[in-house]
Structure 1
Amino acid sequence: MNETMRPVLGVSVAIWRGGRVLLVRRGREPFKDHWSLPGGRVEWGESLQDAVRREAAEETGLSLHTPHLVDTLDMIGAGEPPASHFVIVVFTADATGEPVAGDDAAEIGWFEPEAIAALPTTPDLARIVALSQRS
């Protein structure tokens, strides 16, 4: 292993309205054209809460209320050594505003959890969405 290789820290957020979750279709690699939760990389010196608020605003135009931790996951690319390694901290939050695809989101939409199985998605999306549902 190259000693300079380190996992990249990222955040994502499940935003719910009327029993549907907001997903973005990624416009760039990794996972271009796959549906995912809005999110992205944490910047140096940025808290996780600030990062998830910034990324949600950049990708959806929405303002988050208090984000709540859901889970963490590893997204490790294929190969030896792996092509990529992201550690994603996943939140859920309510949001204000109407979503508009922005930044690297090619498309945006509200989905019933059951519809996720028929979509090309980032790894573990259905499990994370199920964990993020709040009553």
Structure 2
Amino acid sequence: MPDSNPLQQPRVGCGAVIQRADGAVLLVKRGRQPEQGHWGLPGGKVDWMEKVEDTVVREVREETGLHVTVVRLLCVVDHFEPELGQHWVASVYLARPLDDAEATSLEPDAILALDWFTADALPAPLTRSARSGLSELSLLR
């Protein structure tokens, strides 16, 4: 087990595999570390005393303008970035849009691009959380 520093604590995050009725999923291109430039899931940091599922809904709305409902937990990802001094534990949920609103990047520094992708046309590279969540849905082979 690695040496622990009492000042270093894992951070709690979450992400959403947002899947439309036609099967396409929304992915965002990250503008910040960790995994800057990779295609990943909308999501973010869980706030103090906030339920993780509530965080998913809030973060998706803040980042993309979409209103979603959480369907189920897909997986939990341990993400270690020693060179950045970061350790994230991220729950990844399946979510569905509640309406036909258009997704848009509301945080242009954090999200460089976003788009809907089908399983046979996923972009690369993908973040760890995106790979794990998409694998759970059998969208990533």
Tell me the TM-score range normalised by the shorter chain: 0.7 to 0.9
Aligned residue for 1:5? 8
Partner residue in 2 for 1:125: 130
The 2-side partners of 1:101 and 1:112 are apart by 19
8 A Cα contact 2:14 2:90, kept in partner: yes
Counterparts of 1:45 and 1:4, CA distance in 2: 21
Corresponding residue of 1:47: 51
By how many angstroms is 1:78 displaced? 3.6
Which residue is 1:114 aligned to? 120
- How far off is 1:2 after superposition? 1.3
Partner of 2:104: 100
Paired amino acid for 1:114: D
**8 Å CA contact 2:93, 2:133 repeated in 1:** no
User: Could you say which residue in structure 2 is the equivalent of 1:31?
Assistant: 35
What is the rounded CA distance, in whole Å, between the counterparts of 1:19 and 1:25 in structure 2?
Answer: 19
Q: Which runs of 5+ in 1 are unaligned?
A: none
- Residue 85 of structure 2 aligns with an amino acid whose one-letter code is A
Residues 7 and 85 of structure 1 are in contact (CA less than 8 Å); yes or no, is this contact kept in structure 2? yes
Answer with 89-98 or 6-15: which moved more.
89-98
Say if 1:78 and 1:7 are closer, same or farther in 2 by CA, change over 3 A: same
TM-superposed deviation, 1:123: 1.7
| SS, match of residue 14 in structure 2 | strand
Q: 1:19 aligns with which of 19, 23, 32?
A: 23
Give TM-score scaled by structure 2 length.
Answer: 0.84
Structure 1 pair 43/90, CA: closer, same or farther in 2 (3 Å)? Answer: same
- The CA deviation at 1:58 is 1.1
Say if 2:66 and 2:102, in contact at 8 Å, map to a contact too. Answer: yes
Aligned-residue CA RMSD (Å): 1.9
Check the 8 A contact 2:105/2:114 in 1, yes or no: yes
> How far apart in 1 are the matches of 2:59 and 2:129?
20
Out of 83, 86, 89, the residue aligned to residue 88 of structure 2 is 86
SS in 1 for 2:34: coil
Match of 2:72 among 68, 72, 77: 68
Give the C-alpha shift of residue 76 in structure 1. Answer: 0.5
